[in-house]
Amino acid sequence: MNLIHVNRFARYVLSVARHELRVSLCVMVFCYASAGDAFATERPELASVPKGRPNVVLIMADDLGYECLGSYGGTSYKTPNLDALAATGMRFTNCFSTPKCSPSRVTIMSGRYTLRTTTTWGELPANEITFGHVLRDAGYATALAGKWQMVLQKTDPGHVRRFGFQESAVWAWHEGARYYKPMLYHNDTIMADTKEKYGPDLYCDFLIDFIKTNQDKPFLAYYPMALTHWPKNDEPPGPNGKHLEFKGMVEEMDRQVGKLTTTLDRLGLRENTLILFTGDNGTPTNVTSIIHGKKLKGGKAKLTDAGTRVPLLANWPGTVKAGTLNTDLIDFTDFMPTLAELAMTTVPQDRVIDGQSFVAALKGKNPKPRQWVYTWWGGKEWLRDKDWKLYADGRLYHMKADATEQKPMKKGTGDADAKAARKKLARLMSDLKKSATVNFGQR
Ligand SMILES: [Ca+2]
């Protein structure tokens, strides 16, 4: 054991001791400390605190399809930091989001489909329970930085905190700029001294400080990045009078991820930290990228693969095997139960959670991977397995043979396999829609 390992071991022993003390204090005071908290009445007793729980850094880029990353075969952009995460971790090829920001954000945080949760754009209903709540109440330090977009923060300054994130640095919504001369909130108040700053630096640096401060505790750093979403027209330009082009935004996004991984390296936290990286929906439609030598047009807002198949990388040295490819279906609802399992706690018991944990997949074997995924946007929806995709309007596609959905099969057409797939997927969608609690007309 060399000096570095001795130091790491000593830090680990110290961190466990500090964590036990902190959680004990939390157990003593939690009944008093959470008045007005939506989840407080459902909070379980923390009779004992399990050991060996990893830190979680969940990064979600904005408007970034899988084709943008080198590890997926993309060649239009340089993404060395993300490629390194893939090379030393696990790359998933069947992760699906919704086609747009707001429903993806509600889905990933709540573990529930929009047919149970979302009534309007940019709304995270007050009674939803997020993975922030769940991990906070399991003793994790929780923080969020980046794009929130779940409320006009000026009308509800405590919004992020009430959804389980104890600290935050966010571009709340369209109250100001997200990139140059940004208008951000630090916890419940407007962040000072941002005029000469670049928003993405502020989000990332905030999380770096959070990680340094909480390195001896289990922590959750949720990083819904502002990049690589186009800026709004009224956002101030950068120092050279321009905003970054898409290529520049992708590469800047990768650089920010590298800042986080470098921090975790320097702190000796990598073996005890799971990094997850994904995107909230596909690339904008005015961007065409090259993947495996072919052009692929972005599909944001569409229900096609280009709009809903997103990258998912998992990196956890010593636990997630390096350089592995995983083809399991992953649904955006799966993050909530996955994070809960990592924190050795339960998902909320008083409601339907649609997700299924993929912790077993991270550890190398998932004997019961989920068999289908579902998504919705703008009144359209589909349910699919790996091979077949059925839209609610009756179109069926064989995705292995028709990945860009050029040949819809109508009801009553196709071979026996197609008919069997239609029957199976239609039954699953019917069962799912029966359990909807939000009127489709409202969404
Ligand atoms: Ca988005």
Report how far ligand 1's centroid is from the alpha carbon of 228 (Å). Answer: 8
- Please identify which residue in the block is written with the tokens 């007050």: 126
Report how far ligand 1's centroid is from the alpha carbon of 305 (Å). Answer: 15
Report how far ligand 1's centroid is from the alpha carbon of 221 (Å). Answer: 19
What region does 433 belong to: left with phi over 0, alpha with psi -120 to 50, or beta? alpha
Report how far ligand 1's centroid is from the alpha carbon of 62 (Å). Answer: 4
Euclidean distance between CA atoms 375 and 383, whole angstroms: 7
pLDDT recorded at residue 435: 87
Secondary structure of 88-151 as H, E, C letters: CCEEEEEEECCCCHHHHHHHHHHCCCHHHHCCCCCCCCCCCCCHHHHHHHCCCEEEEEEECCCC
Report how far ligand 1's centroid is from the alpha carbon of 87 (Å). Answer: 26
Euclidean distance between CA atoms 221 and 209, whole angstroms: 11
Report how far ligand 1's centroid is from the alpha carbon of 53 (Å). Answer: 30
Quick one: which of 437, 323, 56 has its CA closest to 210? 56
pLDDT recorded at residue 308: 98
Report how far ligand 1's centroid is from the alpha carbon of 65 (Å). Answer: 10
- Mean pLDDT (10-residue bins), the chain, 443 residues: 44 44 38 37 49 95 98 98 98 98 96 88 91 98 96 89 97 90 95 95 98 97 98 91 97 98 98 98 98 98 97 98 98 98 97 97 94 94 98 96 95 94 98 81 46
For the entire predicted model, the pTM comes to 0.89
pLDDT recorded at residue 334: 98
Report how far ligand 1's centroid is from the alpha carbon of 64 (Å). Answer: 8
Report how far ligand 1's centroid is from the alpha carbon of 342 (Å). Answer: 26
pLDDT recorded at residue 365: 85
Backbone φ and ψ for 168, nearest 5 degrees, come out as -155, 155
pLDDT recorded at residue 28: 37
What tens digit of pLDDT does each residue of 2-11 get?
Answer: 444 444 444 4
Report how far ligand 1's centroid is from the alpha carbon of 176 (Å). Answer: 18
Q: Report residue 178 as tokens.
A: 């997200």
Cα torsion through 354, 347, 270, 108, rounded to 10:
40
pLDDT recorded at residue 50: 65
What tens digit of pLDDT does each residue of 243-295 get?
Answer: 999 999 999 999 999 999 999 999 999 999 999 999 999 999 999 999 999 99
pLDDT recorded at residue 51: 75
CA distances from 248 to 126, 190, 262, 334, 399 (A): 37, 28, 21, 31, 32
Report how far ligand 1's centroid is from the alpha carbon of 417 (Å). Answer: 35
pLDDT recorded at residue 40: 40
Report how far ligand 1's centroid is from the alpha carbon of 125 (Å). Answer: 19
pLDDT recorded at residue 30: 36
HSE value, Cβ hemisphere, 13 Å, CA-based, for 10? 7
Report how far ligand 1's centroid is from the alpha carbon of 173 (Å). Answer: 13
Quick one: which of 403, 401, 175, 235 has its CA closest to 307? 403
Report how far ligand 1's centroid is from the alpha carbon of 422 (Å). Answer: 30
Report how far ligand 1's centroid is from the alpha carbon of 382 (Å). Answer: 19
pLDDT recorded at residue 436: 86
Q: Which domains does the chain have, with CATH numbers?
A: 53-369 (3.40.720.10), 379-442 (no CATH)
Report how far ligand 1's centroid is from the alpha carbon of 127 (Å). Answer: 23
